[in-house]
Structure 1
Amino acid sequence: MALPLLLVPSDPLAPRVPDPHFAREADAARQAGMDVAVVDHDAIIAGDIRAAVRRVPTSNVGRTAWYRGWMIHTPTYALLATGLQTRGARLLTDPTMYQAAHELPGWYDAFADLTPTSIWSPWEANRTPKHADVAAWACKLGGGPALVKDYVKSRKHEWHEACFIPDLADAPAATRVIATMIKLQDADLNGGIVVRRFEPFLPDDAGRTREARAWWVEGSLALITPHPDAPAGTTVNVPAAILDAVRSGVHALGSPFVTTDLAQRSDGVWRVIEVGDGQVSDLPATQDPAPLTQALSAGPPTTRHESRS
């Protein structure tokens, strides 16, 4: 049985080879025995899926595939999956699974006991919220500090302007923060608005939340890395009991390739602060990609052994 195909974005300046950001993973995949093909990310975003997949060999009839590339919206991922089928390749993460792991409403229930309390509402890009909208969310979540994001991403680098809400019960102030987030996201708003209860987390030396990223392939732990934004040399150590609890959430979610970002709250309790589809989650620049590509190249789930490391 052929190993899965690895699909990575092409280099915009040399479209027959992988984008430099994913070149190390492509090399590691080949060393693990996988074939690698490139897709055109710009064409994917433009909706020209035929052009996007034109360099995927048609000899892959019936072949399964993983995508490792830049983040794309769920509807676009569905188009990519359909386009790859015309080349004979089938993504192991189907569009429904992708959406479940990529967007908070899809993964929240599986991790509800491990993650900050959240509410959400579908929302159109560039639609400005009213005080009544925010008051309704405050009624559901209660007052106090909160964070706002879309279904996938926050504006954490504009913390006070477009992310952190000091008191959700202060509807005018909360509305300003939420409206700014929506404005900055513009057409890139993913799905809708998420409001999460704020929980303080232990910081690193630079004052940022110290995060670990756990990578799960077919329900097994493949790798733990620092968050890609962490300073070089950062080390992480997540207790086995926490990983067991997160593993249960991963199994409940059911998506085959998932990342979970973990951090310690100021009281020492470990929390899941984000879940993502592993295909569009970034590796730290200094991380050896071999453990991940080896996991992606492994056989079907029935032949795998659960990692307890």
Structure 2
Amino acid sequence: MAPVILFCRDPLHPRRADPHFAEDVRAAREAGLRTALLDHDALLAGDAGGAVRGVPRGAGDAWYRGWMVPSGRYAELAGALAAREVTLLTPPDAYRCAHELPGWYAAFTSVTPASVWLPAGPGRAPGAPELAALAAPLGGGPGIVKDFVKSRKHEWHEACYVPDLADADRLAAVVARFVELQDAFLAGGVVLRAFERFTGAGEARVWWVDGRPVLVTAHPDHPDRRPEPALDAVAPLVAALGCRFVTTDLARREDGEWRVVEVGDGQVSDLPRGAAPEPLFRALASADTALSADTAHE
């Protein structure tokens, strides 16, 4: 039996998928996949049982395809689905591994900017001494601030970019503003990354299913720019990560090296405007559902 794709429902029209995923729904059905709807708002509110009430019991194996979900809520989603005899093909530990930088960083250290991190809760920015100690292994120089999942690059100078990580006061100010703006959406804690300069060609988002690159698109922030990255160095690292459905965002550094800017769980990675989703859903339809969580994420 083909897997079911769980899409977020439209809050205004609960019997249909969120319009943002309309093309995904069409491509999934054309690929022979079954579809069902869940309530993303209810899931975020902590009502996982209510969120999956519309998912048929006994639907079997499933991929989620929708808006971003905090790792803890995703685990609750997996539990609520299991109670309905539905199994997510990306289990909670694999979702966290691909979704949060501390989970994927070790596998990609050789091809991504040097990074350090510190757990922190919403509204609790680490102080200057703590941040100075955290930043010390990066050796100074420019850096960026983010949480385990996202940055605030649209507030670049205010809450993202630090001209010199050795400037403890400036670093603390940027981190404090970042934590303030993230508010309740702060994911996991604070990450500091060494800043690397890339060419202006844009980023390529590579979609991987069971270690195979099945689709290359532009990054959603710049849908008009899509470089063609070399994947020879990245492919074995994706395989080593061991997560079944992931994305890697790659950009070319000014010295010509392709670098991994971000890794993400493919279920919650966005397609850029105008990208054709058919290859992605054909790959998900043909994925080996016999792979267990244990063998897929070691």
Query: 2:176 aligned to 174, 179, 189, which one?
Result: 179
Equivalent residues of 1:263, 1:273 under 8 A apart: yes
2:238 maps to what in 1? 250
Q: Following superposition of structure 1 onto structure 2, how do residues 230-309 of structure 1 map, counting pairs within 5 Å?
A: 230-232=222-224, 234-239=225-230, 243-300=231-288
User: Does the CA-based 8 Å contact 2:206-2:249 persist in structure 1?
Assistant: yes
Which residue of structure 2 lines up, in the alignment, with residue 78 of structure 1?
75
1:67 aligns with 2:58: no
Tell me the distance in 1 between the aligned counterparts of 2:253 and 2:260. Answer: 10
CA contact (8 A) 2:58 2:86 kept: no
Tell whether the 8 Å contact from 2:117 to 2:189 is kept in structure 1 after alignment. yes
CA distance in 1, matches of 2:169, 2:221: 32
SS across alignment from 2:146: strand
1:135-177 Cα deviation digits (max 9, x unpaired): 1023222111111100000000000000000001111111100
Please give the alpha-carbon distance, in whole angstroms, between the structure 2 residues aligned to 1:137 and 1:49. 36
**Alpha-carbon separation, structure 1, partners of 2:227 and 2:199:** 13
Counterpart AA for 1:167 = D
Helix, strand or coil: the match of 2:79? Answer: helix
Amino acid at match of 1:266: E
User: Given the alignment, which residue of 111, 116, 121 partners 2:113?
Assistant: 116
Instruction: Give how far 1:128 is off.
Output: 2.6
Output the amino acid matched with 1:260. Answer: T
User: 1:168: which partner in 2?
Assistant: 165
The alignment status of 1:93 with 2:84, answered yes or no, reads: no
- Whole-Å Cα distance in 2 between the matches of residues 121 and 111 of structure 1? 19
TM-score (structure 2 length as normaliser)? 0.95
Poorly superposed stretches of 4+, deviation over 4 Å: none
Structure 1: gaps (5+ residues): 205-209, 304-309
* Aligned counterparts, 1:49-68, within 5 A: 49-60=48-59, 63-68=60-65
Matched, 1:154 2:151: yes
CA distance in 2, matches of 1:139, 1:283: 37
Kindly tell me the number of residue pairs found equivalent between the two proteins.
291
- Note the aligned Cα RMSD (angstroms): 1.3
* Aligned partner letter, 1:75: G
Q: Distance in 1 between matches of 2:223 and 2:5?
A: 29
How far apart in 2 are the matches of 1:104 and 1:299?
25
How far does the alpha carbon of each residue in 1:205-248 deviate from its partner, in whole angstroms, 9 at most, with x for none?
Answer: xxxxx10000000111110000011144x332113xxx121111
How far the C-alpha of 1:301 sits from its partner, in A, is 7.7
Contact 2:57 2:85 in 1 (8 A): yes
Task: Give the gaps of 5 or more residues in structure 2.
Answer: 292-298
2:11 counterpart of 1:20:
no
Q: Secondary structure at the match of 1:17?
A: coil
Distance 1:12 1:121 in 2: 35
- The one-letter code matched in structure 2 to 1:274 is E
Deviation by residue 1:110-151 (Cα, 9 ceiling, x = unmatched): 000000000111111111321101210232221111111000
> Is the CA contact (8 Å cut-off) linking 2:61 and 2:289 kept in structure 1?
no
Q: Distance in 1 between matches of 2:107 and 2:161?
A: 25
Higher mean alpha-carbon deviation, 46-55 vs 132-141, is at: 132-141
Relative distance call for 1:35 and 1:192 in structure 2 (3 A) is same
Contact 2:89 2:289 in 1 (8 A): no
Cα distance, 1:287 vs structure 2: 0.7
CA gap of 1:180–1:200, structure 2 versus 1, over 3 A, is same
* Mapping 1:216-227, distance limit 5 Å: 216-227=208-219
Native 8 Å contact 1:3 1:299 kept in 2: no
Distance, in Å, in 1 between the alignment partners of 2:37 and 2:215 is: 24
For 1:261 and 1:302, locate their aligned partners in 2 and report how far apart those are by CA, in whole Å. Answer: 28
Q: Is the 8 A contact 1:74 1:99 kept in 2?
A: yes
Given that residues 39 and 56 in structure 1 are in contact (C-alpha distance below 8 angstroms), is that contact kept between their aligned partners in structure 2?
yes
Residue in 2 that maps onto 1:307: none
**C-alpha contact (below 8 Å) 1:145/1:164 kept by paired residues:** yes
Instruction: Tell me which residue corresponds to 2:6.
Output: 7
Identity, % of aligned positions: 54
Q: Distance in 1 between matches of 2:276 and 2:170?
A: 44
1:218–1:301 contact (8 Å) kept in structure 2: no
Are 2:143 and 1:143 equivalent residues in the alignment?
A: no
